[in-house]
Chains A and B, each alone.
Chain A
Amino acid sequence: QITLKESGPTLVKPTQTLTLTCTFSGFSLNNSGVGVAWIRQPPGKALEWLALIYWNDNKRYSPSLGSRLTISKDTSKDQVVLSMTNMDPVDTATYFCAHVQAVAAYFDYWGQGTLVTVSS
């Protein structure tokens, strides 16, 4: 059974760096064809894909946020970490991580999400 869970701060100040961790089980990022993505959703708004990392360390980022994002994996801990620099109130959102298969590229398993508020 595949599960994912996001963790990190619920409140960050403007200009700070946000670091979120996705801890997963039921699959391994050592396995060929597997990936983990981050998606966010501002309150009352639509979903936005942010970043993706594959088993082979191939990484992809949303062009609109690319320079602010860094995604990494720790296969020994079954974790994926997303960092976002220079946080702004418009970055207030629920952040989800999700499982992706390279051959499929849709999100078949999701974490519950974590709400991050950016405020001074």
Chain B
Amino acid sequence: DIQMTQSPSTLSASVGDRVTLTCRASQSISSWLAWYQQKPGRAPKLLIYKASSLESGVPSRFSGSGSGTEFSLTISSLQPDDFATYYCQRYNSYPWTFGQGTKVEIK
């Protein structure tokens, strides 16, 4: 199976910071990658699909980039509502797999 590795595991940042989260695939997945945001006790929320396409209704401060094996999610100016855990997910082939998550916490 293709493994997804996210880094860092935890990121401490302040409101207004620009933050970048990374997701690496153990082999190429082209652009078949999604990003989700999850808050405690809640279901994940789709943010980005096909590596860089912004889901409808998601604020434009979120952006995704990358292809092949290296991907990133950038939040241009961190807002209080953005403190959460973020997961990447590949869907190029079965079994679909998620990364282990990056928790964005208040510095």
Contacts and interface: CB of A to CB of B under 8 A. Distances in A.
Contact of B55 (A60, A108, A110, A112): A108
A47 B98 contact: yes
Give the dominant DSSP class at A's interface: loop
The interface size bin for chain B is 20 to 34
A105 B44 CA distance: 15
Interface in A26-45: none
Given A105-B91, A106-B34, A49 B55 contact: no
B46 A108 contact: yes
A8 B97 CA distance: 25
Interface string B90-102: 0100111111110
Given A63-B1, A107-B34, A46 B46 contact: no
Give the dominant DSSP class at B's interface: loop
B32 to A, nearest CB: 7
B43 A49 contact: no
Interface residues of A, number: 18
A62 B49 CA distance: 21
B100 to A, nearest CB: 5
A46 B91 contact: no
Interface string A56-72: 00001011100000000
A113 B94 CA distance: 23
B95 A49 contact: yes
